[in-house]
Amino acid sequence: MIIIMLGAPGTGKGTVADVLEGKLGIKHISTGDIFRKNIKEKTKLGIIAQQYINEGNLVPDDVTIDVIKERLEEPDVADGAILDGFPRTVKQAEALDKMLQEKGKQVDLVIELMTPDDEIIERIVQRRVCSNQDCKAVYNLVLHPPKVEGICDKCGSKLIKRKDDTEEIVKERLKNYFELTSPLIEYYEKQGKIDKETVSVRINRLGEDVAKDVANRIKNNS
């Protein structure tokens, strides 16, 4: 099964994908994690990606498509994947459809997460992530703080704030998202694959709640 997570930065795509991975047994692939790993290791891809991310822009389509194509060849995704951060443009979506068709597969479900902009900004500015790349746990100093300040609950590593988690860059990322990525919604709506889900503290519905509901629906329909 191939599931795509759509939604502006900070809507909780990673949280929902992680829960679905545990409940459905299919791998969560985060494009952001792949890029951050390359940036940390200062690979050629990492250097290219860093330039765009620092400016709050998306990494070019061709670079991202090649990264995902290579990742989908790995054995741990033979039974399916949850794609988080890809596709972000119609060009990427068309490339993904072609990749999957060659394997006799298709996109089965697209989950669109929606959150008010002011909540998104507050979430990202208050976000802290585990410095251990093998752990990658994510916290929020307001909504989901660690038990010990600055320390990951899961592995004990130091928590850090991503360089691009500032209000200025978040606003630019939101602008880019709505200008460049929103057409994806129409693309997948035409295919009848969109599942719209609101994630907001105002209605007391967070990512884990959405993930549990989606997982139950998938299991009941299978």
Catalytic position from the list 162, 193, 205, 212? 162
Q: How many residues does the chain have?
A: 222
**Whether residue 127 lies in the annotated active site:** yes
Q: Please state, in angstroms and rounded to a whole number, the distance separating the CA atoms of residues 89 and 183.
A: 7
Helix (H, G, I), strand (E, B) or coil at 112: strand
Assigned token pair, 144: 């989901």
Which residue type does 221 have?
N
* Catalytic member of 36, 123, 128, 173: 173
Cβ-based neighbour number of residue 87 at 10 Å:
26
CA atoms within 13 A on the CB side of 2: 17
Catalytic member of 13, 36, 128, 136: 13
In angstroms, what is the C-alpha Rg of the chain?
Answer: 17
Q: Which of 36, 123, 127, 136 is catalytic?
A: 127
Mark whether 88 is an active-site residue.
yes
Q: Which of 88, 123, 128, 136 is catalytic?
A: 88
* Cβ count near 44 (within 10 Å): 8
What's 28's DSSP letter? Answer: E
Specify whether 13 is catalytic: yes
CB 92 within 8 A of CB 64: yes
Q: What is the 8-class DSSP label of residue 25?
A: -
Question: Which residues does the annotation mark as catalytic?
Answer: 13, 88, 127, 162, 173
